[in-house]
Amino acid sequence: MNTLIAVAIAPFGVGDELSEYVAEVVKVIRESGLPNKTTSMFTEIEGEYDKVMEVVKKATFVLAEKGIRTEVIMKMDIRPGYTDTMNGKLDRLESHIKK
What b/e string do you get for 28-66 counting C-beta neighbours within 10 Å, with b at 16 or more?
Answer: bbeebebebeeeeebbbbbbeeeebbebbeebbebbeee
Is 90 exceeded by the pLDDT of residue 3?
yes
Is 90 exceeded by the pLDDT of residue 47?
yes
**Domain range list for the chain:** 2-97
pLDDT of residue 5: 98
Fold of 2-97: Alpha-Beta Plaits (3.30.70)
pTM of the model: 0.89
pLDDT of residue 16: 86
